[in-house]
Structure 1
Amino acid sequence: MSTALETPAHAAVPHPAMLALTIGAIGVVFGDIGTSPLYAFREALAQTAEGGVDPSEILGVLSLALWSLILVVTIKYVTFLMRADNQGEGGVLALTALARRALGRRSMIALVLGAAGAALFYGDAIITPALSVLSAVEGLRTIPGAGDLIGPDTILFLTIAILIALFLIQARGTAHVSKLFGPVCILWFLTIGGLGLWHIWDEPSIVRVFLPWYGGAFLASHGVTGLFVLGAVFLTVTGAEALTADMGHFGPAPIRLGWFALVFPALTLNYLGQGAFALSALERATAANPFAADQDWFFLMAPVEVRPWLIALAMLATIIASQAVITGAYSLTQQAVQLGLLPRLRVRQTSASHSGQIYLPAINWLLLVGVLVLVIQFRTSSAMAAAYGIAVTGTMVVTTCLAYIVARHRWNWRRPVAIAVIAPFLALDLVFFGANILRVVEGGWVPLVVAAAIGLLISTWVRGRGIVRAFEQRQSVPLADLAAALSRRPPERVEGTAVFLTANPESAPGALLHNLKHNKVLHERNLIVSIRTADRPAVPPEERAKMTHVDDNFSAIVLTYGFMESPDVPRDLGLEQAGERKLLNPAKTSYFIGRNTIKPAADQGMPLWQDRIFMFLQRNASDPTDFLRIPPGKVLELGEQVTV
């Protein structure tokens, strides 16, 4: 068995840089999982409330919550999955690219898994801001005397206002305010950890929940109710995917340091404190003041005097958690476009110094619409909590399957060893997924509908592009044959350079053939340029352009980009190459792009309804001149009709 692992991007980090990266990671990576105490324990305990709650149920729920953090986050993600990085990058699509490279020609299964994981992530990206911000605003109800002033409609209005403001500022970029994310989240974790530690003394014996017997006994004695509780308990680990998805920004070492030094202890202390506080409340309960399992335990733990400040801090923490998910949706979409899973979308850089700071207007407004629909539809965080777990558990199942492919085919582990390591993780994911599926009717249908819609778009786009490529290949002429024919019968020549964009550099682009057919001219110099996406996050500039001379008239150039990079054709064609003069004179360069007209047909290709979807995606795709950074005044588009 080979133990060779992918080399982390931040393998050796100096101590001051490590501290800065750790602070940054705490602000970005752990925002989602760090705000789970707002609602996770409350929702899990509320599932047992129908027949009344006894101390063993509080202990059982708390034991399940803590062991979920240990098994899913600490062992599976921090210890194991963070070792499966693609040149430092993590996340479901980075893992997909790594698995596709390992499988070679059999990579379709990895692509399907990656598309499914990406589709499920969008469900998570819609639910996280809605649930977390709404949970924080609901804390206002715990302020004594505020119940009459702050009703459900007021909470809804404040939540919607905060969310709209959050999405409106995305276009301006978050480079400046993101510097506050780390310090605010450190304050958040210190606060919730200290609050939990203070209440552990209400019932010091609460620490016995570290014995897994309590969780196991609870599941064994509660039947189907235990599965509903397990589905709600999973809310404690939502956000674990961010640990791998953000590896490219911070590296594994700062994320691990942040988890073990601050985040995990703070979460553990807070959940223990909530459990001890609930046990104490149960002991004090009387007929006149009955025990209510669905109380806001998190906010009620805080003294009345400091509760408003805790609510304000919680709102800041949930906004930061939402920001991390929104940024993750931008990055995931950019990767999906580069990998050919989605049509081109307009990408704007919001920071001159940080290439990862991007903004996608289409994704931003679609997310905002989805978030607002959820908030208005469900109205409370408790009603929305059922929708959360399915998206996250589904993504985790996909990630674990991809990890098996990487371990088996990339790291060359023997099959029995790979199965022995991965099977327990997969079994755990499937148990949580099954528990969450039981809550489909309560709201779990939301992420499934979102994922199904995204999956339909991805499959339609991939299939439609395949049909178009097949048509172009049937119409194509080998570039070498065309060059030989033109050398025998040269057409009229014009001054300057023509750049023809094509998917296959070995075939004459359709735009070139149309130009010869209709204009009957050939430029002084002709570059046949193809854009390729590598299965790694970034490609060094010196490896960007690969040129092949065909003859005195034609040169074929392949520009290769990583799946985290945005193409810039004029810049990269102007790079100095070994033994070459600068390729382009911008003033004498024209760009030719093939733009085919899509025609639907019921009797061939895709079904007619899918043709309509593909045509919609094609029409609304970002203009290739914007996507490839080509000056608009230098572009000519030529094409023909294609039936799909």
Structure 2
Amino acid sequence: MSHEASRESLAALTLGAMGVVYGDIGTSPLYTMKEVFNPASGIPLDAIHLIGAVSVIFWGLMMVVTLKYVLLILRADNRGEGGIMALTALASNAIGTDPHKRLILLLLGVFGAALFYGDSVITPAISVLSAVEGLEVVTPALKPYVLPICSAVLVVLFAMQRFGTSLVGKLFGPVIMVWFGVLAAVGTLEIIQQPAILAALNPLNALRFLSAQGWHMFVALGAIVLAFTGAEALYADMGHFGKHPIQFAWGGLVLPALTINYMGQGALLMRDPSALENPFYRLFPDAWLIPAVVLATLATVIASQAVISGAYSMTKQAVQLGLLPRMEVHFTSAKEMGQIYMPEVNWLLLAAVLLAVVGFGSSSAMAAAYGIAVTVTMLITTLLTFFVIRNGWRYPLPVAMAATAVFLTLDVLLVVSCSLKFFQGGWFPLALGAAIFVVMATWRRGRELLIESIRSGDPELLPFIEGLSADSVHRVQRTAVYAVANAGTVPQALMHNLKHNQVLHERNLILTVVFHEVPWIPFEERVQVETLAPGFWRVQVNYGFKNTPDIPKALELCAAHGLPINLFETSYFLSREIIVPTKGTGMAHWREALFALMSRNSGSVAGFFHLPNNCVIELGTRVQI
């Protein structure tokens, strides 16, 4: 029974991975071949070039997706979790305590995370737009309605986010399975009519195609890279499904279906070059066009959903790693902790997506903007993986270099190819990523300056409370929890309480919360308790970047450390800092002003840490940085 249950669980996870992980790369056939042979690319539309281009796509899927992600990078799990933030933490820990190397790797990872937001904007826009453009194939009279329909679909998609994805998620896997089945079926029908396209399986045809292009090879690769977008999702969603279901789904259905469909489009174009207007939809008989558009729209909505959910998860991790200010988080499932909704992220993403749709106007125009953010993220992933292999797994330097050199070369080639489209739209995701990187770097540096300022202005904690214990300060019979960023100095809230109220609680907890560069912290390591003086304890609560912070629940664990706490007789004192930017040392004045703005508008500390509203006292203090 255990073996049968394990098999059923693996099947369910594989089905789930099919929907969430492969939605993005699975919708690439909608636009890739059309862009590769776009007249602007200058690649002749003949049999030799069609076979060569399809061969490059197939062997690119084998090298970039199968060998790099499915076989190598899925091994680099951070306690079961994947994604560029988890990989950054893994690489940083692997290189030891060298602060300069850790800073460089952190900056690399943060820039890769920032570029992910660019992908989160482009993916819904280009995917849904390319699907709805199938209406133009049904009848050109519908062309004026493509942008309004696309915008309406996107607004509905983002508006539904607040209800959670658990119900829709159950439909993801089956719909995407049907999608891949249809991709394979219509591709097979064309291959049967034009079997010469099977020559694309020969890697020599891929090499001949690229070498024959000369410097124009970069233009060709800039379009072909669209077939690999979505590869990062394999690694990012590893924590949800595990590596084996992701690997089984890729090898068992996704790779064969994509290969057959790209070959089918190549065979169709060999037989009928006029199909270039939309080779994907021309695979279908006229009677199937409307159902094909509906299925493609469903598939692109699913692909978009995966990226949107990923943006929520990425933001939550960034907040807990100290890279972004606190934001409102809604948990949309009573069973799945990872299913969250973040209103600010949702509406900002929708605004950016609609601007992209209206600004670019078509999937072809948007294709120029798509590849560059993805390829730079792929390059950063490869660089970080090298440090994991060399320093984390302790492989010899030649082995580590051999394992990543080929992929690094491919990534650089793809980045250079996509860079040629910088002025045609490639600037958009890079500018978006750069802006988010500046925001993240400013918030992190601002918090460092804030803590330094507080540390320099406040007295040392131990001498202060030792002096208090001998004084005749009036004490009240409750527990006070003082949440602080720096546990070595006296909390501002404690000083205000003594100065203005002239009372001290019988039990005082100096509480610090530390988010570690690992996904999860087990309960037995969650809390550390240290006695400081009579009536004073220092409590450190530890979380991973995937944990959900809940201070009352964490304080219940103090009983195992000899400090039982009655939560009904506990008050939480918080210091709310009002940032005052000053000219001089620190950051540039505009960055200090930006940090002050973010600090004023950051989410509630009480809400973020799940503190009971009727037990929280906030005391403000002005801090110059």
**Structure 2 length as normaliser, TM-score?**
0.96
SS of 1:297's equivalent in the other structure is: coil
SS of 1:640's equivalent in the other structure is: strand
Give the one of 156, 161, 170 matched to 1:170.
161
Equivalent runs, 1:490-505 vs 2, <5 Å: 490-505=472-487
In the alignment, which residue of structure 2 is the partner of 1:97? 89
SS of 2:366's equivalent in the other structure is: helix
AA of the residue aligned to 1:603 = G
AA of the residue aligned to 2:118 = G
In the alignment, which residue of structure 2 is the partner of 1:205? 196
Q: Tell me the CA shift for residue 585 of structure 1.
A: 2.9
Give the one of 588, 602, 609 matched to 1:621.
602
Q: Tell me the CA shift for residue 22 of structure 1.
A: 0.3
Give per-residue Cα distances to partners, 1:397-444, cap 9 Å, x unaligned.
111111111111111122222112111111111100000000011110
Q: Tell me the CA shift for residue 292 of structure 1.
A: 6.3
Distance (Å, rounded) in 1 between the aligned partners of 2:624 and 2:462: 28
Give the one of 227, 233, 245 matched to 1:242.
233
Change (3 A) 1:579 1:548: closer
The answer to whether the 8 Å contact 2:576/2:619 transfers is: yes
In the alignment, which residue of structure 2 is the partner of 1:129? 124
Distance (Å, rounded) in 1 between the aligned partners of 2:198 and 2:603: 56
SS of 2:287's equivalent in the other structure is: coil
SS of 2:219's equivalent in the other structure is: helix
Corresponding position: 1:317 with 2:308 = no
AA of the residue aligned to 2:124 = P
Corresponding position: 1:182 with 2:164 = no
The answer to whether the 8 Å contact 1:575/1:583 transfers is: no
The answer to whether the 8 Å contact 1:274/1:301 transfers is: yes
Higher mean alpha-carbon deviation, 219-228 vs 431-440, is at 219-228
The answer to whether the 8 Å contact 1:48/1:229 transfers is: no
Give per-residue Cα distances to partners, 1:12-31, cap 9 Å, x unaligned.
98111000000000010000
Give per-residue Cα distances to partners, 1:317-357, cap 9 Å, x unaligned.
00000000000000000000011111111111011111111
Corresponding position: 1:147 with 2:140 = yes
In the alignment, which residue of structure 2 is the partner of 1:33? 25
Q: Tell me the CA shift for residue 52 of structure 1.
A: 4.4
AA of the residue aligned to 1:54 = D
Distance (Å, rounded) in 1 between the aligned partners of 2:10 and 2:545: 26
Corresponding position: 1:546 with 2:528 = yes
Give the one of 613, 616, 620 matched to 1:635.
616
Distance (Å, rounded) in 2 between the aligned partners of 1:350 and 1:92: 24
In the alignment, which residue of structure 1 is the partner of 2:390? 408
Higher mean alpha-carbon deviation, 300-309 vs 208-217, is at 208-217
Distance (Å, rounded) in 1 between the aligned partners of 2:557 and 2:160: 36
Change (3 A) 1:483 1:540: same
In the alignment, which residue of structure 1 is the partner of 2:459? 477
Corresponding position: 1:159 with 2:150 = yes
Give per-residue Cα distances to partners, 1:547-567, cap 9 Å, x unaligned.
111122111111111101221
Change (3 A) 1:635 1:62: same
Q: Tell me the CA shift for residue 510 of structure 1.
A: 2.4
Give per-residue Cα distances to partners, 1:277-315, cap 9 Å, x unaligned.
111114xxxxxxxx464x211110111111211111101
Distance (Å, rounded) in 2 between the aligned partners of 1:341 and 1:575: 28
Corresponding position: 1:608 with 2:589 = yes
Q: Tell me the CA shift for residue 504 of structure 1.
A: 2.8
Q: CA RMSD in A?
A: 1.7
Corresponding position: 1:82 with 2:77 = no
The answer to whether the 8 Å contact 1:25/1:255 transfers is: yes
In the alignment, which residue of structure 2 is the partner of 1:434? 416
Corresponding position: 1:343 with 2:334 = no
Equivalent runs, 1:577-592 vs 2, <5 Å: 577-578=559-560, 580=562, 582-586=564-568, 588-592=569-573
Equivalent runs, 1:334-413 vs 2, <5 Å: 334-413=316-395
The answer to whether the 8 Å contact 1:573/1:584 transfers is: no
Instruction: Please list every run of at least 4 consecutive aligned residues from structure 1 whose deviation after the TM superposition is greater than 6 angstroms.
Output: none
**Structure 1 length as normaliser, TM-score?**
0.94
The answer to whether the 8 Å contact 2:91/2:387 transfers is: yes
Distance (Å, rounded) in 2 between the aligned partners of 1:250 and 1:47: 41
The answer to whether the 8 Å contact 2:232/2:378 transfers is: yes
Change (3 A) 1:620 1:460: same
Q: Tell me the CA shift for residue 135 of structure 1.
A: 0.4
Give per-residue Cα distances to partners, 1:180-205, cap 9 Å, x unaligned.
00000001001101111111112112
Give the one of 267, 290, 298 matched to 1:308.
290
Q: Tell me the CA shift for residue 51 of structure 1.
A: 6.9
Corresponding position: 1:513 with 2:495 = yes
Q: Tell me the CA shift for residue 47 of structure 1.
A: 5.3
Q: Tell me the CA shift for residue 520 of structure 1.
A: 2.3
The answer to whether the 8 Å contact 1:47/1:225 transfers is: no
The answer to whether the 8 Å contact 2:451/2:486 transfers is: no
Give per-residue Cα distances to partners, 1:199-218, cap 9 Å, x unaligned.
11121121111222222222
Higher mean alpha-carbon deviation, 518-527 vs 239-248, is at 518-527
Distance (Å, rounded) in 2 between the aligned partners of 1:487 and 1:201: 88
Corresponding position: 1:116 with 2:98 = no
Q: Percent identity?
A: 45
Unmatched tracts of structure 2, length 5 or more: none
The answer to whether the 8 Å contact 1:196/1:273 transfers is: yes
SS of 2:95's equivalent in the other structure is: helix
SS of 1:550's equivalent in the other structure is: strand
The answer to whether the 8 Å contact 1:115/1:455 transfers is: yes
AA of the residue aligned to 1:39 = Y
The answer to whether the 8 Å contact 2:517/2:545 transfers is: yes
Unmatched tracts of structure 1, length 5 or more: 1-11, 283-290
AA of the residue aligned to 2:74 = M
Distance (Å, rounded) in 1 between the aligned partners of 2:5 and 2:439: 41
Give the one of 205, 209, 224 matched to 1:218.
209
Higher mean alpha-carbon deviation, 474-483 vs 55-64, is at 474-483
Distance (Å, rounded) in 2 between the aligned partners of 1:338 and 1:491: 37
Distance (Å, rounded) in 2 between the aligned partners of 1:122 and 1:579: 42
The answer to whether the 8 Å contact 1:45/1:61 transfers is: no
Structure having the higher helix fraction is 2
Distance (Å, rounded) in 1 between the aligned partners of 2:42 and 2:400: 43
Change (3 A) 1:579 1:528: closer
In the alignment, which residue of structure 2 is the partner of 1:191? 182
Give the one of 427, 437, 443 matched to 1:455.
437
